[in-house]
């Protein structure tokens, strides 16, 4: 009987990290473990009112150790699984970069910066660099070459250079100690392989192309003049970063002796080049050309792949990047998304839960605490059930979903969410329906952006927690988009996608497409549009667009 070969996929999310041990023959999940970041959970280093969201590197390294060791312990009953694990690949949120010294150590791991948020990873949804993003967009117009052309033409505060420049300006001590600025998905492979020189960090094609302005046409990053003339604080950093990038079917190295001992694995274990979670999630969800893969969690990240020959001369404006090989090597990867999706529902739930949690807190008993927890866990489910029973009309309340700004089309993190058409009869269920509808209209705007610019979306693939757990939201999305949505069977497509790349890095499969074919779990649900609702939604969609235009006009600075 052939020996079973295993790989580990590690998926870093916003709130937790998950490691999954996968059988390379069939993609079956052997075991998994989850670690919730303790410092993040405690709310440390963040200030939501300032859109400041930072994460400590210890949350990441501790989570890496704990989840891999726990997953191995769960699986290795017979004692032979650990020795047959051949590779590890990781994905992370992004853009989530950090300042490092010349040894590649995040500054927050040094004693003098241990409690300094500016020395920590700047999470994807941190918008403290919104002013810097605006400067980059204005600055780019001064050059004969459009250096923003492969990131949709608009640079975002969620991305690499906006965050870097903001940190350099905000904290002189951090700036004076910074050698380079490194994405989370590049740092973890460097850590696992025992890297000690920041110059040896291998840059992910995915991260560099979608967030850091790297492009094949430019033979790397934009020229030094682009950065130094933007702000002298950026002078010299370009040459300390990267010119070459790597697709995720390539190896970053092998597991260092320190990490092999820590995890109970061999130093022969291959470590793959990292990438962003949604890009690996699209692979784990068995993406097909021209199918929009929607990873739906706290935000959405929408991924589409197309043969390079089809994309010759096509540039889709207003999206989050168009990069050769960022998802599947040899194909163009196009990224879009919504800055708040699950986060919008979480905000609404927290709003409704405030009086329950705060009025009962002073006199809480074990029974009331259990009741609060039950309401908290069931609220969105019950709201969905009640909203599903409501009739649909053109005059219902409606909302705009920009509670965390707008990612696509045309990134603008200064925008705000809103509700319209409220009256004294409006209640919690009506408003929830309007909010869900707004997130679905936001999804339709993305599909329209692709279609209107010559890249036809032929179908939708739903991935992530919302796709799996909320039939109400998925059915509404099918109705709003007037397009069927198939839901992938796996609940952990990002981690499984990482495992597929790990199997490719280990040489089990020659291409990641082969790993997708062998290890993919298929689909277990499909939602089809309801013809009785699609016409009403198409009219309400025009109202959504008009409301969004009104908000944007009011919030856009006038020259």
pLDDT tens readout for residues 113-127 = 999 999 999 999 999
What number is the average pLDDT over the span 381-405? Answer: 96
CATH superfamily placement of domain 6-285+490-523: ATPase, nucleotide binding domain (3.30.420.40)
What beta strand segments (E) does 339-413 contain? 398-400
What number is the average pLDDT over the span 320-340? Answer: 94
Rounded to an integer, what distance in angstroms lies between the CA atom of residue 213 and that of residue 164?
Answer: 13
Gyration radius of the chain over CA positions:
23
What number is the average pLDDT over the span 390-417? Answer: 93
Q: Are 150 and 322 in contact (CB under 8 A)?
A: yes
pLDDT band at 559 (very low <50, low <70, confident <90, very high): low
CB burial of 530-547 (b: ≥16 within 10 Å; e: otherwise) equals: eeebeeebeebbebbeeb
What number is the average pLDDT over the span 472-500? Answer: 95
Q: Are 526 and 485 in contact (CB under 8 A)?
A: yes
Element (H, E) at 517: helix 512-519
Q: Which fold has domain 342-488+529-555?
A: Nucleotidyltransferase; domain 5 (3.30.420)
- Residue 487 has, within 13 A of its CA and on its CB side, a CA count of 21
Chain segment 18-29, per-residue pLDDT in tens = 999 999 999 999
Question: How many other C-beta atoms lie within 10 A of the C-beta of residue 374?
Answer: 10
Question: How many other C-beta atoms lie within 10 A of the C-beta of residue 112?
Answer: 11
pLDDT at 2 over 80: no
Pick the range with the lowest mean pLDDT from 76-80, 214-218, 225-229, 423-427.
76-80
Rounded to an integer, what distance in angstroms lies between the CA atom of residue 249 and that of residue 182?
Answer: 20
Identical fold for domains 6-285+490-523 and 342-488+529-555, yes or no, is: yes
pLDDT at 465 over 60: yes
What number is the average pLDDT over the span 188-216? Answer: 97
Percentage of the chain surpassing pLDDT 90? 87
pLDDT value, residue 77: 60
Chain segment 127-148, per-residue pLDDT in tens = 999 999 999 999 999 999 999 9
At 2, give phi and psi (nearest 5°): -65, 140
pLDDT at 306 over 60: yes
How far is it between the farthest Cα atoms of the chain? 73
pLDDT at 364 over 80: no
For residue 166, the SS3 value is: helix
Which burial class, exposed, middle or buried, applies to 549 when counting CB atoms under 10 A from its CB (0-12, 13-18, 19+)?
Answer: exposed
pLDDT at 112 over 50: yes
Rounded to an integer, what distance in angstroms lies between the CA atom of residue 514 and that of residue 331?
Answer: 15
Nearest by Cα to 420 from 453, 394, 446: 394
Chain segment 510-552, per-residue pLDDT in tens = 999 999 999 999 999 999 999 999 999 999 999 999 999 999 9
How far apart, in Å, are the Cα atoms of 476 and each of 162, 185, 467, 533, 536? 35, 34, 12, 9, 12
Strands 203-204, 245-246: parallel, antiparallel or unpaired by DSSP? parallel
* H-state helical runs in 417-505: 428-452, 465-469, 471-481, 493-505
pLDDT value, residue 466: 87
What residue ranges do the domains of the chain occupy?
Answer: 6-285+490-523, 342-488+529-555
Which burial class, exposed, middle or buried, applies to 425 when counting CB atoms under 10 A from its CB (0-12, 13-18, 19+)?
Answer: exposed
Pick the range with the lowest mean pLDDT from 27-36, 114-123, 220-229, 296-305.
296-305
pLDDT band at 1 (very low <50, low <70, confident <90, very high): very low
pLDDT at 78 over 60: no
């Amino acid at each position: 009987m052939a020996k079973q070969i295993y790989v580990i996929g590690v998926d870093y999310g916003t709130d937790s990290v998950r490691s999954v041990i996968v059988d390379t023959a069939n993609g079956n999940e052997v075991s998994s473990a989850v670690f919730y970041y303790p410092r993040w959970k405690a709310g440390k280093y963040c200030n939501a009112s300032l859109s400041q969201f930072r994460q400590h590197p210890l949350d990441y390294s501790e989570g890496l150790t704990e989840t891999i060791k726990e997953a191995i312990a769960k699986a290795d009953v017979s004692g032979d699984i650990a020795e047959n694990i051949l590779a590890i690949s990781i994905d992370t949120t992004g853009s989530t970069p950090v300042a490092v010294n010349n040894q590649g150590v995040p500054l927050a791991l040094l004693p003098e910066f241990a409690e300094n948020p500016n020395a920590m990873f700047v999470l994807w949804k941190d918008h403290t660099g919104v002013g810097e993003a605006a400067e980059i967009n204005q600055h780019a117009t001064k050059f004969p070459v459009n250096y923003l052309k492969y990131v949709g033409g608009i640079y975002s505060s969620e991305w690499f250079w906006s965050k870097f420049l903001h940190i350099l300006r905000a904290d002189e001590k951090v700036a004076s100690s910074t050698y380079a600025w490194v994405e989370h998905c590049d740092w973890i492979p460097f850590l696992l392989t025992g890297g000690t020189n920041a110059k040896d960090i291998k840059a992910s094609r995915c991260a560099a192309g979608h967030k850091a302005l790297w492009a094949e046409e430019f033979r790397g990053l934009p020229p030094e003049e682009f950065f130094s003339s933007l702000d002298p604080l950026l002078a010299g950093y370009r040459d300390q970063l990267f010119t070459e990038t790597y697709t995720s079917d390539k190896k970053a190295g092998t597991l260092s002796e320190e990490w092999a001992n820590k995890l109970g694995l061999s130093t022969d274990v291959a470590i793959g080049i990292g990438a962003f979670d949604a890009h690996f999630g699209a692979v784990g969800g068995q993406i097909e050309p021209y199918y929009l893969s929607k990873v739906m969690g706290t935000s959405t990240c929408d991924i589409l792949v197309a043969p390079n020959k089809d994309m010759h001369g096509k540039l889709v404006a207003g999206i989050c990047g168009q990069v050769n090989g960022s998802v599947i090597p040899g194909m163009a990867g196009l990224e879009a998304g919504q800055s708040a999706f699950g986060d919008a529902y979480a905000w609404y739930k927290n709003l409704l839960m405030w009086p329950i949690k705060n009025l009962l807190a002073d006199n809480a008993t074990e029974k009331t605490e259990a009741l609060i927890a039950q309401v908290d866990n069931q609220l969105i489910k019950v709201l969905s059930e009640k909203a599903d029973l409501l009739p649909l009309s053109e005059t219902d309340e409606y909302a705009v979903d920009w509670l965390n700004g707008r990612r696509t089309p045309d990134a603008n993190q200064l925008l705000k969410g809103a509700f319209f058409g409220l009256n004294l009869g409006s209640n919690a269920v009506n408003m929830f329906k309007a909010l869900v509808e707004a997130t679905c209209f936001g999804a339709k705007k993305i599909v329209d952006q692709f279609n209107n610019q010559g890249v036809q979306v032929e179908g939708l693939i739903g991935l992530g927690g919302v796709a799996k757990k909320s039939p109400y939201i998925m059915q509404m999305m099918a109705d709003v988009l007037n397009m069927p949505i198939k839901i992938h069977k796996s609940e952990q497509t990002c981690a499984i996608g990482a495992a597929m790349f790990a199997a490719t890095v280990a040489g089990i499969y020659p291409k990641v497409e082969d790993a997708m074919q062998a290890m993919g779990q298929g689909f277990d649900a499909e939602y089809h549009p309801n013809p009785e609702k699609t016409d009403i939604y198409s009219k309400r969609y025009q109202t959504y667009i008009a409301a969004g235009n009104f908000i944007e006009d009011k919030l856009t600075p006038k020259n």
